[in-house]
Amino acid sequence: MRPSFLGSKRPDKKGDKKKVDRNKIETLGDLRASGWRYRPVKQEIMENMVAKMNAGEPLFPGILGYDDTVIPEMENALLSGHDILILGERGQAKSRIIRTLVGLLDEWMPAVAGCEILDNPFAPICRECRIRAVEMGDRLPIVWIPREERFGEKLATPDVSVSDLIGDVDPIKVAEGRYLSDERVIHFGILPRTNRGIFAINELPDLSEKVQVSLFNILEEGDVQIKGFKVRLPLDILIVATANPEDYTHRGRIITPLKDRYASQVRTHYPTKREIETAIVEQEARLHIASDYRVIVPGFIKEIITGLTFEARQCPEINQSSGVSVRMSISNYESVLASAYKRAIRLHEPEVVPRITDLPAVFASSRGKIEIEYAGEDQTEVEIIDRLLRRSIRAAFEHHFRIEDLEPVIRLFEAGAVMEVSADAPSGPYQELFQHLPALKGALKSLGLGDSAAQMAAAAEFILEGLHLNQKLNKELRKEKTVYKISPPSTRPRPAVKRERSGEGFH
């Protein structure tokens, strides 16, 4: 049966672990004299969790937005000693959660030196180590394994075999003179090699049925069986797997007995608030900008980028079963910031401040992040992204401004003002708009921006684009430039007349 910690000695607030000096422990005798005690890995994780909770330390550092949903379920599962299946669409931090579990292991763990499966020195399970333990007694050599080496991970693909996961006969060992009846001819797979640790299987439904069956004993009895050998390895291991809900529940790609053997099932989700998605983007985005540049990302740019992702998650033209990953927000943020950085380099400007004309950079970084329903029949991927982007810009604009507050801008354009903008335009000319309208400087404050030329340029483009999307300004595309203006009354397009249909025709 699998090791159990139920009914074991309750740890105190310090974890009930005796400090040992691993530099002085080289043999089984030294380990025995040190007072070190063996604990099954699930009990070890439980006790370390309790110690961290008592100390007020986070159990899942870097995981945002799951405090009231996913994390409590993970805590319950781990304290119950359960193997766990994490269900969620792509980009919901499933792998990230699993990798943080390594921090719940002891920093160092003693194992029999030279053992492929990190045998417990007090009770080795592989034949080779058992023989050595009898022959050498307390002289059996010990090595210390860092927690990072006690984590094994496998991406499930259809070509993964039982040999890869569990093990197989090694023909080289047979050629060296060992008999096939000797279990020491076995080459262990990645799962036994993660003994006394955490093993993760990503995208579990992609394993073939034969391989899924091979996991039965591990999950229920805590052992493996290899080929025709009468060998039983009672592995001490925590198994965590991930799967997409569509693959897991609808396509029938996981055999029913395997579903039953995962004691806890945890469901992840996308951020429920844009503030959380923004925090994730700021935490995960990676862009190396030279230290002599000052980087300022306006809040409305972050709102637009995360808003685009939220719009995509609600768009009926996008396949929602595959999900719209947080990685879309991260990639778009990096692309827009890179566009602003490129401008600052070319124009020798000291500040890197993204603006509306940098947003077309999201077309390249959004491709591949969404799956279009019936692609190619009605609209292209770029056309859908463009429409969702405009919707996100308008929502961000209406969050910050009211049209009546910007009447001075509208009157300026009604008087014949014309404004040209582009991603390559220097920031200086944008200041003229604020010079003509001193009252507009209050917009900078409401947007949380300063009065530098680059920040004024970002605010100006946001205001102009917002007025255009609210049909207060016309916008023309001229090669690499965008022109905002108000057309004279004689040339303004006549508004379309809506016609409603009744049973007797149009009226």
Q: What is the CATH number of domain 22-267?
A: 3.40.50.300
pLDDT digits over 465-492, tens only? 999 999 999 999 887 789 999 876 544 4
Residues 407-435: pLDDT tens digits?
989 998 898 888 899 999 999 888 888 88
How high is the pLDDT of residue 362? 96
Burial 348-365 (b: 16+ CB within 10 A, else e): ebebbbbbbbbbbbbeeb
| Alpha-carbon separation of residue 391 from 135, 322, 467, 486, 496 (angstroms) | 75, 22, 13, 22, 21
What's the rounded Cα separation, in Å, for the pair 279 and 296?
16
Question: What is the per-residue pLDDT for 147?
Answer: 95
Interstrand relation of 237-243 and 84-87 (parallel, antiparallel or unpaired): parallel
Domain ranges of the chain: 22-267, 274-491
Q: How far apart are CA 198 and CA 96, in angstroms?
A: 14
Q: What is the pLDDT of residue 6?
A: 41
With b meaning 16 or more CB within 10 Å and e meaning fewer, what string describes 416-429?
Answer: ebebebebebebee
How far apart CA 469 and CA 463 sit, in angstroms, is 10
pLDDT of residue 498: 38
Mean pLDDT score of the chain, rounded to an integer? 85
3-state class (DSSP) for residue 313: helix
* Block residue for tokens 């198994």: 239
The DSSP element (H or E) to which 279 belongs, if any, is: helix 274-284
Helix (H, G, I), strand (E, B) or coil at 11: coil
Alpha-carbon span 143 to 239, nearest angstrom: 24
pLDDT at 17: 55
Going by C-alpha positions, the residue among 17, 31, 225, 5 that lies closest to residue 113 is 31
pLDDT of residue 497: 35
125 in Cβ contact with 115 (< 8 Å):
no
Residues of the chain with pLDDT under 50: 1-16, 490-507
